[in-house]
């Protein structure tokens, strides 16, 4: 059974087997969590992302997919990159958001990761409402068939932490 834990803080400081990156489809770094992971992890992450683009993801990683690279200088073995959906008030894209969590756990299982740290995927610049994002994240992880022993949601601020804590109850 997977244990779910909440932490308020900086995901790039987590000591886990795998850190999940809320990546953009280019896999070449960006802002928010993606930029922070690339900055702290160093050039090895970007180098592997470039190789992935050249070999398998020339048009970029599709929304809801996940792929792993080295973690570079981070205190983790791998970074699992997943592309979250941009929120839409007119189109239900919740299955794509759930896929980010499921696919990240699938990749973690393939790697043999036992501890995984997730950000609140799509709740930043992609505009997903925090309450709904937390609901989807917690429900998806709880329902996942995974060998991952511990999932840690690393939330940037107190408000996000409280929303996730409410959903976890």
With CA atoms as reference, report the closest residue to 117 among 158, 74, 151, 161: 151
State phi, psi for 161 to the nearest 5 degrees: -60, -45
Total residue length of the chain = 169
CA 142/CA 9 separation, integer angstroms:
22
State the catalytic residue, choosing from 34, 73, 75, 109. 34
Is 109 noted as a catalytic residue in this protein?
no
Rg (CA), the chain: 14
With CA atoms as reference, report the closest residue to 82 among 56, 64, 57, 109: 64
User: Can you list the alpha helix ranges (DSSP code H) found in 12-120?
Assistant: 32-41, 43-55, 94-111
Residues 6 or more apart whose Cβ sits within 8 Å of residue 33: 11, 21, 22, 119, 124
Sign of CA dihedral 125, 108, 64, 25: positive
Residues with catalytic roles: 34
């Amino acid at each position: 059974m997977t244990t779910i834990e909440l932490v308020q803080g900086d995901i790039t400081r987590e000591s886990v087997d795998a850190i999940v990156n809320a990546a953009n489809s280019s896999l070449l770094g960006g802002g928010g969590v993606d930029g922070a992971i690339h900055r702290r992890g160093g050039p090895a992450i970007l180098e592997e992302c470039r190789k992935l683009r050249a070999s398998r993801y020339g048009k970029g990683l599709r929304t809801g997919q996940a792929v792993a690279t080295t973690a570079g200088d981070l205190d983790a073995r791998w970074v699992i990159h997943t592309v979250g959906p941009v929120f839409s008030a007119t189109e239900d894209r919740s299955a794509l958001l759930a896929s980010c969590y499921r696919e990240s756990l699938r990749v973690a299982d393939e790697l043999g990761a036992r501890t995984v740290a997730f950000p609140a995927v799509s709740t930043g610049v992609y505009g997903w409402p925090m309450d709904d994002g937390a609901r989807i994240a917690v429900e998806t992880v709880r329902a996942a068939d995974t060998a991952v022993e511990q999932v840690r949601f690393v939330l940037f601020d107190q408000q996000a932490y409280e929303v996730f804590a409410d959903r976890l109850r």
